[in-house]
Structure 1
């Protein structure tokens, strides 16, 4: 991480100074089963701009399916980690081809209800800087463009 992101060491130190538990190599697909997380419940779980490493174009159906598997697994795992009135927030672009990820359907499949869908405002996340995540340009930001934060709760029926 330190090699990929220029501010990683500073950001991690700041989080630890604030008393945050900083963990690495937690699989978003199975995080509810992680030994340090499997007994914890959260009021908010946030995943801004989820994505897998790009092997193909963003509009390629196989790449879209790969992204969908990541988000669906994350939502299912996060569902099991929510407090009774907790929420899962997923921020995602809403234009082509990103709308083909069908975030709302994936959440419904995971037993979640859409509480609210709001336009993403970076100012709501002090200190947040979106990064590409992989490849030689990992430390570069990308345009958030037309993005929304989807807020989900557990479907308690």
Structure 2
């Protein structure tokens, strides 16, 4: 069977001149979600809201500063956390490859996923992202994330 048989039409690849940001690449984003779960998750497990919040925090230094300023204070303006649809697709990709699993409304790393996390964490990659996650970890409890989304 050939690819044309599956697609029922011919296709071509066209080289594009536009740069593709690394945060839109599935492999890059998959590794990022594994790091989020491994660093900020409780027993390498977290809610979808927490994953989205951590993803938003590491996008810009201003996001991290805004979240840290807000956390633990009732009188501060709540950060405007943006949800990224690519995260949901990446989680499904991780689940289908046995790196993560969904149970009781939480996403958890499997044994394979923990092995991937360990290798990613020891490498000299994602250094800025790892540093931001480590700094935010203390303030990224599930209760704080729930308070953030409920606006309480």
Q: Given the two structures, how large is their TM-score scaled by the length of structure 2?
A: 0.27
Greater relative contact order structure (CA < 8 Å, 6+ sep) = 2
Larger proportion of strand: 1
Look at both structures and tell me which one has the larger radius of gyration over its CA atoms: 2
The structure carrying a bigger helix percent of its residues is 2
TM-score by length of 1: 0.26
